[in-house]
Amino acid sequence: MAPKVPPQPTLEQSSTAAEAGHGHAHEAPPKGLMRWLLTTNHKEIGSLYLIFSLVMFFIGGIFALVVRLELFQPGLQFVNPEFFNQMTTMHGLIMVFAAVMPAFTGLANWMIPLQIGAPDMALPRLNNFSFWLLPVAFGLLLSTLFMPGGGPNFGWTFYAPLSTTYAPPSTTFFILALHIAGISSILGAINIVATILNMRAPGMRMMDMPLFVWTWLITGFLLIAVMPVLAGVVTMMLMDINFGTSFFNAAGGGDPVLFQHLFWFFGHPEVYIMILPAFGIVSAIIPAFARKRLFGYASMVYATAAIALLSFMVWGHHMFAVGMPLVGQLFFMYATMLIAVPTGVKVFNWIATLFQGSISFEPPMLFALAFVVLFTIGGFSGLMLAIAPADFQYHDTYFVVAHFHYVLVPGAIFAIMAGVYFWLPKWTGHYPHERLSQWHFWLSVIGVNLTFFPMHFSGLAGMPRRIPDYALQFADFNMVSSLGAFLFGFSQLLFVAVVILCVRGGKKAPAAAWGDYADDLEWSVPSPAPLHTFETPPNYQRPAH
């Protein structure tokens, strides 16, 4: 590594330059563990985020398999209901906050500076801090499983009073863990927003930015807007539990329904935090493999912004069955359905991009195409749930479970995997192993659908969610779901194999690894990308359309 100090036009650098003399961090890169603990390099931090996310994906996955194992047959076979509840709760919390969100932050760290021609993130040392908060947060969260009374058992939505009056003693640690994770994503979001707004290559206007950058900018704003609300809710819980306040306690004049309003005011934008960057990834991959320009770039940007704005006005669709005046139900119903319009614009644009393209089916494209199809199924079931009178039937059944798993697994997670396959050549200099990737893709698609499609039916037939046992009539659907879940879970080992093999070797990739239509700035640097890139800003050339 060249001992040269890269020009880092950062807040920290300018404020600490005096005491630090000339340069730090990069001067004599520490070896071994310290290198990773202290790194301020966006690529290394990006890798740390991605590896952390992958580990958590497996831990959360094991919890899910415990759940599916118990539900394989009716009756109680393997775990007791108390532990079952901890498994469903931990699965949800880990997947949302420790797998999906850090994966997107990791991709942002790696790719956003490369895509806008910046040498690093705007605040590299803050970046290091944001990452290292995560192992602390989730180490703490996982440790609650071994505490007396067990870990959180109130569902990932931690509704009061289940999470206050009736919560296990470890709940204070759960709150602390969520606070730390929240601070991590807030700091990450500030960093990303600051990078995008201030560090673009000269000549790159906002409307020249790749869509992954755009969607992350908007996601960053969403995070800055709603993570403090989550922090507020858990703070209120903390005070109710430990300091005798009654925010959510009717006995003291509080109201548990208030909890749900506050939670979902955070929660619905949160689900878009988990999908907007996915839209950006897919919008990069589809043109690359259809060998056409993306159809409707500007409308993609506006649709993303519209979805983000609307997402603040629809939280009530999670609470139809809680009790709400008629006007409220109507408002939230129509506002929710309105989101389908910008979402539809996006799906339309992807299909229009594919139309008459010369399509090839490399692994990133396979995942991106599966994303478009299966995410749309999830969008449709969302629309069904948005119909307030019908939601009384579906609410808290497996139909809801089917809905959000379609948007999150073949939605968010497939997009992350598509992104990893797409950018692996840039990261490692090698193409991912073709055969193995194909196996991974097909087993995943089959597994996902086997797992989640039958849940639509068991849900419509009335099977409640979050229960360790169920009526005999649901036995067949559940058996299929469980078999699918194990298939899906174990196929992810193939993914690990592909990534490891790709780091080790494989077919060499050139700088522009995916041809003429993957032509954002990241494809102008060599593959693998050197540790320091764009130390002098590139000359941004607008592609001729």
Q: Are the CB atoms for 114 and 519 separated by under 8 Å?
A: no
Q: Please, which residue, 63 or 247, has the CB nearer to another protein?
A: 247
Give min distance, CB of 451 to ligand HEM, in A.
16
User: Which positions ≥6 away from 25 have C-beta within 8 Å?
Assistant: 38, 39, 40, 124, 125
Question: Is there binding between residue 403 and ligand HEM (CB under 6 A)?
Answer: yes
Please give the distance of CA 388 from its chain centroid, rounded to a whole number: 27
Question: Is there binding between residue 408 and ligand HEM (CB under 6 A)?
Answer: yes
The alpha carbon dihedral of 140, 142, 147, 153 has a sign of positive
| Whether residue 528 has a cis bond before it, omega within 30° of 0 | yes
Q: Closest Cα to residue 59, out of 91, 88, 81?
A: 91
- Is 268 annotated in the active site? yes
Task: Locate 285 and state its tokens.
Answer: 């991959």
Question: Is there binding between residue 539 and another protein (CB under 8 A)?
Answer: no
Q: Are the CB atoms for 332 and 320 separated by under 8 Å?
A: yes
Question: Is there binding between residue 394 and ligand HEM (CB under 6 A)?
Answer: yes
Of 36, 132, 156, 540, the catalytic one is: 156
Q: What burial class does residue 272 get, using C-beta atoms within 10 Å of its C-beta: 0-12 exposed, 13-18 middle, 19+ buried?
A: buried
- Is 91 annotated in the active site? yes
- Is 423 annotated in the active site? no
How would you write 233-294 as a 3-class SS string? HHHHHHHHHHCCCCCCCHHHCCCHHHHHHHHHHHHHHHHHHCCHHHHHHHHHHHHHHHCCCC
Task: Locate 256 and state its tokens.
Answer: 């548990």
| Partner in contact with 183, chosen from another protein, ligand HEM, Cu ion, none, beta carbon below 5 to 8 Å by kind | none
H/E stretch holding 69 reads: helix 42-71
Q: What burial class does residue 244 get, using C-beta atoms within 10 Å of its C-beta: 0-12 exposed, 13-18 middle, 19+ buried?
A: exposed
| Partner in contact with 383, chosen from another protein, ligand HEM, Cu ion, none, beta carbon below 5 to 8 Å by kind | ligand HEM
- Is 156 annotated in the active site? yes
Q: Which residues within the stretch 318-377 sit at the binding site for another protein (CB under 8 A)? A: 323-325, 328
Query: Which region, judged by CB under 5 A, interacts with Cu ion, from 91-99, 249-257, 268-276, 361-369?
Result: 268-276
Question: Is there binding between residue 339 and ligand HEM (CB under 6 A)?
Answer: yes
Query: Which region, judged by CB under 6 A, interacts with ligand HEM, from 82-90, 118-126, 221-229, 335-343?
Result: 335-343
Burial 138-156 (b: 16+ CB within 10 A, else e): bebbbebeeeeebbbbbbb
Give min distance, CB of 55 to ligand HEM, in A.
22
Of 91, 125, 200, 440, the catalytic one is: 91
Question: Is there binding between residue 403 and Cu ion (CB under 5 A)?
Answer: no
CA distances from 464 to 198, 228, 449, 455 (A): 49, 32, 20, 11
Question: Is there binding between residue 386 and ligand HEM (CB under 6 A)?
Answer: yes
Question: Is there binding between residue 231 and another protein (CB under 8 A)?
Answer: yes
Question: Is there binding between residue 242 and another protein (CB under 8 A)?
Answer: yes
- Is 70 annotated in the active site? no
Residues 110-139 as x/- pattern, contact with another protein by CB under 8 A: ------------xx----------------
Of 42, 43, 268, 292, the catalytic one is: 268
Query: Which region, judged by CB under 8 A, interacts with another protein, from 136-144, 259-267, 305-313, 434-442?
Result: 259-267
| Partner in contact with 336, chosen from ligand HEM, another protein, Cu ion, none, beta carbon below 5 to 8 Å by kind | ligand HEM
Of 184, 219, 376, 428, the catalytic one is: 184
| Partner in contact with 257, chosen from Cu ion, ligand HEM, another protein, none, beta carbon below 5 to 8 Å by kind | another protein
Question: Is there binding between residue 400 and ligand HEM (CB under 6 A)?
Answer: yes
Question: Is there binding between residue 430 and ligand HEM (CB under 6 A)?
Answer: no
| Partner in contact with 536, chosen from ligand HEM, Cu ion, another protein, none, beta carbon below 5 to 8 Å by kind | another protein
DSSP string, 173-231: HHHHHHHHHHHHHHHHHHHHHHHHHH-PPTT--GGGS-HHHHHHHHHHHHHHHHHHHHH
Task: Locate 452 and state its tokens.
Answer: 């989640």
Please give the distance of CA 37 from its chain centroid, rounded to a whole number: 24
| Contacting residue, 268, 292, 405, 430, with Cu ion by CB under 5 A | 268
Task: Locate 464 and state its tokens.
Answer: 């409640």
Residues 180-209 as x/- pattern, contact with another protein by CB under 8 A: ------x--xx--xx--xxx----------
Query: Which region, judged by CB under 5 A, interacts with Cu ion, from 66-74, 267-275, 392-400, 496-504?
Result: 267-275
Question: Is there binding between residue 340 and ligand HEM (CB under 6 A)?
Answer: yes
User: Which positions ≥6 away from 166 have C-beta within 8 Å?
Assistant: 154
Give min distance, CB of 215 to ligand HEM, in A.
13
Please report where in the chains the tokens 């990932």 appear, as a residue: 156
Q: Give the nearest residue (CB) to ligand HEM.
A: 382
Q: Closest Cα to residue 278, out of 207, 345, 157, 367?
A: 367
Question: Is there binding between residue 460 and another protein (CB under 8 A)?
Answer: no
Q: Which residues are catalytic?
A: 91, 120, 156, 184-185, 268, 270, 272, 283, 317-318, 343, 346, 465
The residues of the shown chain that bind Cu ion, judged by CB under 5 A, are: 268
The residues of the shown chain that bind another protein, judged by CB under 8 A, are: 7, 9-11, 13-14, 122-123, 164-165, 186, 189-190, 193-194, 197-199, 224-229, 231-233, 236, 240-242, 244-247, 249-255, 257-258, 261-262, 265, 323-325, 328, 536-537
